[in-house]
């Protein structure tokens, strides 16, 4: 059975144009810095983010990890949100591999961390305490509902950090979704940060890869960390070629995913026992919950949907994540909505 897979936008397979570009890619040894296609992708990424340089890495997780390791020494502290991907879903890499201490502050429902909370968390100069070296934000914010941080908020945090000699990193895995939703450039959203990672292998459909962007000096340090982590790739131009197609042709169309996500949420509105979270979808993710006290579990609903050829994420006992992407067309929206209604009627 061919599934309608809404578990994540990471499930997106490369487009025919990407496969074609991969087959034709000019390559070289990228550890020597000699892969022309990787070099081209990196130059495009740096330009899109308004930074001096960029580095191609195998995943978003490695992008965040290598960035944080390059900013911090062992024993330094990074401030992260308590719902940040870096904190929840990266296997504790920064502490396991980098000896970096994390201070987790509450993410508000809009994905921000309150400035007063940041203020209170900054460590005084004191040998008993780990120095606050870095603040990391996420845009769009996945676990908070695919919500968008405004450029204004990012600037405020960056100014706050600069005044205190603290660095800033953005996990911009889905920065283009944020930019499209706000109607501004990704460059504007990236500008306040010392470093930004973004992913090619989510809604942009490329099969593999993320980019780290920042100053020339920072990227030189990150290149060394990437090697330490075993992420130095050789003829990676085969992968980068798909990334170039992604950057050239897959950004503007993200608006279609956002519109389809809205349409699907409207169709799900009123389905028995299902509550769409307020404001959802902000971008390409719908977050919905089963009514409190419901005897039905997301697990059960997901199993019944799977039998009807639809896959969605059960991310908490009563909470679903439904992610719209390039391979979800109008028909898939229709089929998914119908499957949900049928299953919920049956189980409730
Ligand atoms: N997120 C995945 C899962 O790991 C949860 C998903 O399905 O959404 N930053 C953010 C904000 C992410 O959402 C992800 C992936 C990453 C980083 C890591 O990217 P990869 O999977 O390339 O390591």
- The model's pLDDT over 243-289, given as tens digits with 9 standing for 90+, comes to 999 999 999 999 999 999 999 999 999 999 999 999 999 999 999 99
The pLDDT of 72-77, averaged and rounded, is: 98
Question: What are the tokens at 11?
Answer: 């499930």
pLDDT attached to residue 294: 83
Answer whether residue 293 shows pLDDT above 90: no
162-193 pLDDT, tens digit each: 999 999 999 999 999 999 999 999 999 999 99
Element (H, E) at 287: strand 285-290
Please state, in angstroms and rounded to a whole number, the distance separating the CA atoms of residues 102 and 90. Answer: 13
> 235 with 341, same domain?
no
Mean pLDDT of 230-252: 98
Is the model's pLDDT at 158 over the cut of 90?
yes
HSE on the CB side for 149, CA within 13 Å?
34
- Burial of 33 by CB count in 10 Å (0-12 exposed, 13-18 middle, 19+ buried)? exposed
| 83 lies in the same domain as 196 | yes
Mutate to test the pocket of ligand 1, among 5, 9, 10 (most ligand atoms within 8 A of CB): 10
24, 332 Cβ separation under 8 angstroms: no
DSSP, residue by residue, 27-75: ---GGGT--HHHHHHHHHHHHHHT-SEEEEES-HHHHHHHHHHHH--TT
**Based on the domain organization, do 332 and 240 belong to the same domain?**
no
CB atoms within 10 A of CB 25: 20
Domain tally for the chain?
A: 2
Nearest CA, atom 4, ligand 1? 89
pLDDT of 292 above 90: no
CA-to-CA dists, residue 283 to 102, 196, 227, 259, 263, angstroms: 28, 20, 34, 8, 12
pLDDT at 139 over 90: yes
pLDDT at 282: 98
Give strand pairing partners of 136. Answer: 169
pLDDT of residue 38: 98
Ligand 1, residue 62: give the atom nearest the CA.
23
pLDDT at 80: 98
Asked if residue 3 belongs to a domain, the reply is no
**Are 164 and 187 in a shared domain?**
yes
Residues of the domain holding 316: 253-347
Q: Which of 216, 249, 282 is the last residue of a domain?
A: 249
Q: What is the CATH number of the domain that holds 140?
A: 3.40.640.10
The last residue of one of the domains, among 206, 225, 249, is 249
pLDDT score at 253 = 98
| 1 domain residue, yes or no | no
Domain at 274, CATH number: 3.90.1150.10
Which range is least confidently modeled, 29-38, 112-121, 137-146, 291-300?
Answer: 291-300
The pTM of this model reads 0.97
Token pair, residue 291, equals 């009514």
| Any domain includes 319 | yes
Q: What are phi and psi for residue 62, nearest 5 degrees? A: -70, -30
Taking the C-alpha atoms of residue 345 and residue 348, their distance in angstroms, rounded to an integer, is: 5
Ligand 1 binding residues, C-beta < 6 A: 8, 10, 59-61, 85, 89, 138, 142, 171, 173, 199, 201, 210
Q: Are residues 201 and 275 in the same domain?
A: no
Backbone angles phi, psi at 102, to 5 degrees: -115, 140
From CA 38, how far away is CA 54, in angstroms rounded? 10
What tens digit of pLDDT does each residue of 207-222 get?
999 999 999 999 999 9
Residue among 67, 90, 142, 175 whose CB has most ligand 1 atoms within 8 A, to mutate: 142
Are the C-beta atoms of residues 79 and 216 closer than 8 Å to each other?
no
The protein residue with its alpha carbon nearest to ligand 1, atom 13, reads 142
């Amino acid at each position: 059975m061919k599934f309608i897979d809404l578990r994540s936008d990471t499930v997106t397979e490369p487009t025919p144009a990407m496969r074609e570009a991969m087959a034709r890619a000019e390559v070289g040894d990228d550890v020597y810095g000699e892969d022309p296609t990787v070099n081209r992708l990196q130059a495009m990424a740096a330009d899109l983010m308004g930074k001096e340089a960029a580095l191609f890495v195998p995943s978003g997780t490695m992008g965040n990890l290598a960035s944080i390791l390059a900013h911090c020494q062992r024993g330094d502290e990074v401030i992260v949100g308590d719902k940040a991907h870096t904190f929840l879903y990266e296997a504790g890499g920064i502490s396991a591999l980098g000896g970096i201490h994390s201070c987790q502050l509450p993410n508000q429902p809009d994905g921000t961390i309150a400035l007063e909370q940041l203020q209170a968390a900054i460590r005084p100069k004191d040998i008993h305490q780990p120095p606050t070296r870095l603040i990391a934000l996420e845009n769009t914010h996945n676990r908070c509902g695919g919500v968008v941080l405004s450029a204004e908020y990012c600037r405020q945090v960056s100014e706050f950090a600069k005044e205190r000699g603290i660095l800033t990193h953005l996990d911009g895995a889905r920065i283009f979704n944020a930019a499209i939703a706000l109607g501004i450039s990704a460059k504007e959203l990236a500008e306040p940060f010392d470093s930004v990672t973004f992913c090619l292998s989510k809604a942009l459909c490329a099969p593999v890869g993320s980019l780290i962007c920042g100053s020339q000096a920072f990227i030189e340090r990150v290149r060394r960390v990437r090697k330490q982590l075993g992420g130095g790739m050789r003829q990676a131009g085969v992968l980068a070629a798909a990334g170039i197609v992604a950057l050239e042709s897959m950004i503007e169309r993200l608006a279609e995913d956002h519109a389809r996500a809205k349409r699907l949420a409207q169709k799900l509105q009123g389905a028995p026992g299902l509550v769409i979270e307020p404001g959802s979808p902000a971008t390409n993710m719908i977050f919905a919950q089963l009514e409190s006290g419901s005897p039905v579990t997301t697990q059960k609903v997901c199993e019944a949907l799977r039998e009807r050829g639809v896959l969605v994420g059960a991310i908490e006992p009563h909470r679903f994540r439904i992610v719209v992407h390039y391979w979800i067309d109008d028909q898939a929206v229709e089929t998914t909505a119908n499957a949900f209604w049928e299953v919920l009627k049956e189980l409730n």
